[in-house]
Chains A and B, each alone.
Chain A
Amino acid sequence: MGTQAASLVRAMLEEHRHVVQAALRKYVAERESESSHLYELVADYPERGGRALRASLCLASACAFGAEVEDAIGAAVALELMHNAFLVHDDIEDGSVERRGKPTLHVLHGMPIAVNVGDALAVLSLRPLLASQARLGPRLTLRVLEEAERMARESVEGQALELHWRDHNQIALSEDDYLKMILKKTCWYTTIYPCRVGALIGTRDGVDLDRFLRFGFFLGAAFQIQDDLLNLTGDPERYGKERDGDLYEGKRTLMLIRLFEVSSPAEREQWSAILQRSRIERTREDVAQLRAGMDRYGCIEHARKVAHGLAGAAMHELQTAYGDLPDSRHKEFLTALPVWMLERA
């Protein structure tokens, strides 16, 4: 069942990615003649070939409720543009050096240009939302914009929380804190918003959107933990980012929080001293120590189990969110996502 589900998800992701990529190129190309040196860079991250998971989720949610792909394509493209804007800025904030198998934008072109490209991607994401007015009408478009505004707000609040933890070297964190942070930072724009806005379009604003919060949260949380696990254990070629990059960045992952939970006071001091250093000061040996601690205390296995549990809860909540809909490929895709989240490499 797992492999079948993963195959279906992969096939539909590929299908949606083509549609979204074509529409996205159109929006970038129509501005390219104005300022080619900007828009060539704007197209850089989107052209590196992400999976378009968020856009696919948005399209699938809309189509599961009976909409046509064209109804939701504007919201899907906008989401993809906003996602890429977040990536550009995240890479700067985290000091990441690799993204989707290539050097990050600020490594290639410097900080000022990369910041501006991130801004351009964020601003450009408004265009497809506004353009969808012709198909959705002004009232529904305004509702989608409201949702987009909330998504962006929740995401930057979550990011601010994580940056604050790192900036102040917060180590007394619990799983509660971690889940609250990723609810805002990751889940809102990765899963909650795509499900909500898809349903909003599919039902022409005829459904209570709170029913998608739980499903989106559990799915997004499982996704984020798996993403953090891949950073430690995945194949860098396929994962597209540097191995142990999160440890170099001092990112507060579930594994790191668990490490602090189960370590002795002396060890905690040792970990804290490592995290106190800036990314440049943090050596390979420091990272190796953290990683060895995680292995010793089973932190990676612990996080994997939590991710499995959250994926199971997502499957349960799927029934509340989409259970009463008639069977369709889109519903199958949504149903298969929790399993795929855990199986992806």
Chain B
Amino acid sequence: MALGPRHRRPLLDRASPLRGWNGLYVPSNGHRRAVPQTAAQPEMATPQAPVSDVAPKPAAAVNAPIPPHAAEPAPRVPPMPSPQDAVARGVATGYRVIEEYLREGQGVARSVAQASTVADVAAAFDPRKLTERMVQHASDLAAAWIEYMQASLNAAGTPGSAGGSSSSTAPTEQEIPDVGAFAIPHRAPRAPQSAPQQPASPASTPRSSGSTRPLVMIDLVSTRRVASQVELNEGPLPLHCHAHALRCEADRSLRIEGVTVEAVHTATPARLIVRLAIPNDAQAGSYRALLLDADTNLPCGQLVLELFE
């Protein structure tokens, strides 16, 4: 039997792995491409001397396989390329530049860190500077806390005054006037005294609803004409309130007892209900009663009453 020509495995283009950037774009003929020397030697200045005889397509260039060793992040020493290869030389130069930049940056960072450490240690032993820093931090904290509290108060609602008229049976409900988001009156301006009304006159109606500011309701029983007003201090409505007796401004010995105050927080907005009954024999004149926070016993406002003949 005649034997045909023996089949042999074709020679491979490349028998060894690519190990450098300079090999990335070299034609795979198994040998390193001979690169013209002219491009790298300015003195020769051969016109149209090709730097590389292979012009890589963009996609081919960027999709070229990454050499196995290059996948490891460290060490980052670029491989030694053939100096004539534009691509390889560019990449090697790029790595050299960025590594040098990183080294310089790390050097500066180290020196700054050392300097600041020394400075910190020195400052730590300087009681004056340390005190100044502590005061500064405390001041910053206090300022932030005040800002926070102010914002909270604004959100909860500012106090105000309620001028109202008397009623014999129905409560008087009035909302504190809106003074704007940034206005926190030290004491709400006194509303003009309402015109005296007959005790049997119907109660005034609330001006609006939906505000978070407390409503003041005055439940007044009287057979005579009365004008009343409640002034609340700034700050949220206390959880529990009580009131002193009404004292006549003309004669401090004259009093109207039995003023009760109730703070209602279950409703929105919170309500302050003031209840009192005017005795028939009470003397005409201006009266004032202090309203107090029952928990702290600090004043939270006052009730002003004008009793007519």
Contact = CB atoms under 8 A, between A and B. Distances in A.
A278 interface: no
B50 A298 contact: yes
Contacts of B192: none
6 contacts: A262-B42, A297-B48, A302-B39, A305-B86, A310-B91, A342-B62
B275 interface: no
B41 to A, nearest CB: 8
Given A308-B61, A308-B62, A297 B47 contact: yes
A309 B97 contact: no
A270 to B, nearest CB: 12
A158 B94 CA distance: 16
B71 interface: yes
B71 A309 contact: no
Interface in B119-159: none
Nearest to A268: B42
Interface in A70-113: none
Interface string B69-94: 01101000000000000111111011
Contacts of A261: 42
Nearest to B95: A313
Contacts of A343: 58-59
Contacts of A296: 47-48
Contacts of A262: 39, 42, 45, 49
Interface stretch (A10-18, A172-180, A193-201, A245-253): A172-180
B93 A298 contact: no
Interface string B41-70: 011010111111001101101111010001
A179 B93 contact: yes
Contact of B91 (A264, A301, A312, A319): A312
Q: Is the interface of B mostly helix, strand, loop or mixed?
A: helix
Contacts of B63: 1, 315, 339
A267 B43 CA distance: 11
A174 to B, nearest CB: 8
B39 A312 contact: no
A183 interface: yes
B98 A213 contact: yes
Give the interface residue-count category, chain A. 35 or more
A264 B46 CA distance: 9
B308 interface: no
Contact of B94 (A1, A265, A304, A313): A313
The 9 closest A-B pairs by CB, nearest first: A306-B90, A308-B61, A2-B59, A309-B87, A342-B58, A264-B45, A305-B86, A309-B91, A309-B90
Interface stretch (A24-32, A34-42, A214-222): A214-222
A175 B86 CA distance: 11
Nearest to B101: A183
A311 interface: yes
Interface of B: 21, 24-25, 39, 42-43, 45, 47-52, 55-56, 58-59, 61-64, 66, 70-71, 73, 86-91, 93-98, 101-102, 105
Contact of A309 (B21, B42, B45, B49): B21
A298 B48 contact: yes
Contacts of B48: 296-298
A308 B56 contact: yes
A263 interface: yes
Interface in A198-236: 210, 213-214, 217-218, 221
Nearest to A320: B73
Contacts of A316: 66, 70-71
A118 interface: no
B96 A176 contact: yes
Contacts of B39: 262, 298, 302
B97 A315 contact: no
A213 B102 contact: yes
A67 B101 CA distance: 30
Contacts of A2: 58-59
A301 B45 CA distance: 16
Contact of B97 (A183, A267, A297, A302): A183
Contact of A218 (B64, B94, B105): B94
Contact of B71 (A210, A304, A310, A319): A319
Nearest to A316: B66
B87 A339 contact: no
A321 to B, nearest CB: 11
Contacts of A213: 98, 101-102
B89 A175 contact: yes
A306 B86 CA distance: 6
A298 B91 contact: no
A179 to B, nearest CB: 4
Contact of B90 (A175, A263, A298, A338): A175
A210 B61 CA distance: 26
A176 B127 CA distance: 51
Given A310-B94, A320-B73, A298 B62 contact: no
A223 to B, nearest CB: 13
B61 A311 contact: yes
A38 B92 CA distance: 47
Residue among B51, B52, B70 with max Cβ neighbours from chain A (10 Å): B51
B71 A221 contact: no
B198 to A, nearest CB: 55
